[in-house]
Amino acid sequence: MAATIGGSATRVGDGVWLIDLGFQGQSEVVAAYLVADGDAVTLVETGPSSTLPALLAGIAAAGFAPESLTTLLVTHIHLDHAGAAGPLVRRFPHLTVRVHPVGAPHLADPAKLVASATRIYGDRMDALWGEVAPIPVDRVLPLADGEAIAIGGRSLTALFTPGHASHHVVYADRDAGAVFTGDAGGVRMPGTAYTCPPTPPPDLDPDAWAASIARLRTLDARRFYLTHFGPFDDPAAHLDQLLPNLDEFRTLAEDATAGGADQPELTRRLHDLMATRLGDAPPAALDKLEWATPSYMAALWLTRLLSKTAGGRR
C-alpha cells in the first residue's frame, strides 16, 4: 500500500473544513468535508478505508473529536466516496449514514458492490480501497429527494442527481450558496480550468447526467465543493464544460474504435486528451487527475457504451 499522507484540514467556508485524504500517497485527489455548527458535526464523504487514518487525523486537525460526528452524508456508494462508512460506523456505533435509497442496501450488504469492483481492480482492491464493511440496517437511513438535513442551525438539502451513478445525491447549502457535488459536478484539479467528466462503468447515463447538470444550474450556486478536488467559485463556467467534455470523450472513442484501436490504445488517447485540455498546468496535475478519474476507466465505460449503441450518437 502507498504511504499514507494527508490528514490535513483546511477551513474553506463558514463551518466547513476540507480534509485531504492523501489517497495512494497523493494530495489533492480525494477530499472529505467536515460541516459543523456548534456541537453538530457532519461528514460529507468518507473516502475509502485505505485513507481512514488520514480522515481521522483531519477531523482532529479541524479541532473536533471523531467521536463528535453524528452523521455521514455520502453522495454515492463508489468506494472512493463511501468505502470507509462501514468501518466508521463499527468504530462509532452512534453514527448514521444518509444515502440515496438505491444505494442503501449496498451499504448494508456490500457483497455485490465488492464483487463488481473486484472485476475491475482485481488484486489491487485492498491496496486501493481497504476494507469494505457492512453497516447495520438501522444505521443506514435512505434520503428523500429534496430532504432538508439539519446540522445545528444550518441546513443541507439532498438533491437526487443521477448520471454519473443512478444513486447520486448532491447536498446544497442554499443559505451559503454552496453545493457539495460529489461526482455529478465533475473532476477538476486545483489551479486548473479543465472540468473532466468522471466516467466509470457500469451505470453511467449521459442523458440523466445532462438533466442533473440542468438541476445544478437552477441552484445558482456561488461555490462548488468537489470531492475531486476542492472548492471552486465559478460554478456556471465549470458546468459549461462538463457535457461538451463528455461528448468529446465519446467522439474520440467512436473515431478510435472506427480506426481499429484496442482498449490500451483508447486509454492512451484519452490520457493524451486530458493532458492537452490541462494545457500548461504542472505535470503533477495530470497525475492527480489520473488518480481521481483514470483514463482506463473512461475507456472501459466508452467501450461498453459503444458496444451497446453500435457507435450511434446520443
State how far the Cα of 275 lies from the Cα of 291, in Å rounded to an integer.
13
The C-alpha cell that represents 276 in the structure block: 492537452
State how far the Cα of 15 lies from the Cα of 36, in Å rounded to an integer.
5
Among 104-108, 141-145, 251-255, 306-310, the minimum mean pLDDT is found in 306-310
3-class SS of residue 218: helix
Contact 9, 17 (CB under 8 A): yes
Q: Residue 125's pLDDT is what? A: 94
Q: pLDDT tens digits for 234-249?
A: 999 999 999 999 999 9
3: which DSSP letter? P
Structural domains of the chain, ranges and CATH numbers in brackets: 1-99+101-142 (3.60.15.10)
The C-alpha cell that represents 280 in the structure block: 500548461
The pTM score is 0.93
Q: Residue 310's pLDDT is what? A: 57
Q: Residue 300's pLDDT is what? A: 87
Q: Where are the beta strands (DSSP E) in 101-192?
A: 140-142, 148-151, 154-160, 169-173, 178-182
In the block, cell 463511501 appears at 82
State how far the Cα of 143 lies from the Cα of 166, in Å rounded to an integer.
14
Q: pLDDT tens digits for 112-123?
A: 999 989 988 999
Asked if the model's pLDDT at residue 25 lies above 60, the reply is yes
Q: Residue 257's pLDDT is what? A: 85
Which of 235, 200, 198 shows the shortest CA–CA distance to 218?
Answer: 235
Return all residues near 100 (Cβ < 8 A) that are at least 6 apart. Answer: 76, 142, 143, 160, 167, 168, 169
3-class SS of residue 150: strand
Strands 140-142 and 96-99 come out as parallel
Taking all residues of the chain, what is their mean pLDDT, rounded to a whole number? 93
The rounded Cα 131 to chain-centroid distance in angstroms is 18
In the block, cell 492537452 appears at 276
Which of 74, 25, 5 shows the shortest CA–CA distance to 291?
Answer: 25
Q: Where are the beta strands (DSSP E) in 209-300?
A: 223-226, 230-232
Q: Residue 33's pLDDT is what? A: 98
